[in-house]
Structure 1
């Protein structure tokens, strides 16, 4: 499945194929009104190269947390993650009528920070020195986007 990577979320970490299957089986049973995991495919070859997800969807507050992982290194930097997030954002702001989406990454994941910013997310804060990767500490960077920012990008 996905190769381990240091550009993504270090909390995802190296996992076994069995752990991935168990995790997906569990996630597929979750009610889609609360959370879902969707695969990201390379359209040219139909290969699964990653996933996007949403979780902690609160229909009353109009908020959800989203995430993206492109696990296959050869597909990094080609816009697949941004495209997948854009589609997910449109679905959540549109079909679910949410007011706010949020996500986070670690400060060492500079590609994600740039991609989230290009998509219109704003950095809203940091949890200083909250992530440990290969013995080095990084900040957890928090991002948010409001419906009106999505509807009328700057």
Structure 2
């Protein structure tokens, strides 16, 4: 059990975030000194409180759309970690009004900040994301056979709201090249047990200002429908978006006839946000479009409680 309560650490995290926002807004040149931290950070940090050379508490601070969420322990998905002396912790908590009015006084903490930071190298993007049932990986040439079938399947295309004709090999091959680090980020869903490709999943339309993006998924192999593979793939990709890409919100849309997908999205933490009536014309008929969204703060609270 950590020596300091998580709600007290949250107050500290909220205060220090606010103070340094004031500081860097007034003195933006000093951002150069922490550029390495900003480069590796996803907005989430590990924090160890030290007193007399002994760590008295470890915490993970998740920066979300609704403020900081603090949990005890160090999350191995977090790349940037700090060790803060208890004396500094107490100084900030006792003198926050002073630092807010005179932010230049925060300069005295910069050397300690820089000397205490530890950057844990992230997983190579050439690898994959792992869930409980599936891995999400970069596509390769052998996947073209599956993609050609999945993306020229009339039923699957209707579920996705597509009305276009067939998709050729050249376009599919181009899509395969856009994996980690691209917009759109197209990944193959492959079963852990057996290594079989069963579908695709994407993040796209990244908006840096809003810290948002959209999600799409297609389980092309019908033998894997309704067995939790899509749910596992979505949760794995949401964890990547929220923990490593500093995304606050992921949205999607579906059509009124796709009730199976709707149930899956609800299990993954998405919530209904709106409905546009008869706004999609598909296969000669108008359908309602349903809008859903997932927030980082809600996802952490719902699925990562420990």
TM-score with structure 1 setting the length = 0.85
TM superposition shift of 1:134: 4.1
Q: Are residues 1:79 and 2:228 paired?
A: yes
Larger Rg: 2
Paired residues for 1:27-38 under 5 Å: 28-29=177-178, 32=181, 34-38=183-187
Secondary structure at the aligned position of 2:302 is classed as coil
The answer as to whether partners of 1:27 and 1:36 remain within 8 angstroms in 2 is: no
Structure with the bigger percentage of strand: 1
Paired residues for 1:76-115 under 5 Å: 76-115=225-264
Give the corresponding residue for 2:288: 139
Unpaired segments ≥5 residues, structure 1: none
Give the corresponding residue for 1:116: 265
Q: Are residues 1:10 and 2:161 paired?
A: yes
The 3 A distance-change label for structure 1 pair 31 and 52 is closer
Secondary structure at the aligned position of 1:98 is classed as coil
Q: Are residues 1:58 and 2:207 paired?
A: yes
Taking the aligned partners of 2:186 and 2:302, their CA distance within structure 1 comes to 26
Taking the aligned partners of 1:15 and 1:46, their CA distance within structure 2 comes to 27
CA RMSD of aligned residues (A): 2.4
The 3 A distance-change label for structure 1 pair 71 and 86 is same
Identify which of structures 1 and 2 has the higher relative contact order when contacts are C-alpha pairs closer than 8 Å and 6+ apart: 1
The 3 A distance-change label for structure 1 pair 59 and 110 is same
TM superposition shift of 1:63: 0.3
1:31-73: CA deviation from partner (whole Å, max 9, x where unpaired): 7253310001123332211101001111221101011100111
TM superposition shift of 1:15: 2.9
The answer as to whether partners of 2:255 and 2:287 remain within 8 angstroms in 1 is: yes
Secondary structure at the aligned position of 1:69 is classed as strand
Which stretch has the larger CA shift, 32-41 or 57-66?
A: 32-41
TM superposition shift of 1:8: 2.5
Number of aligned residue pairs: give it: 152
Which stretch has the larger CA shift, 88-97 or 133-142?
A: 133-142
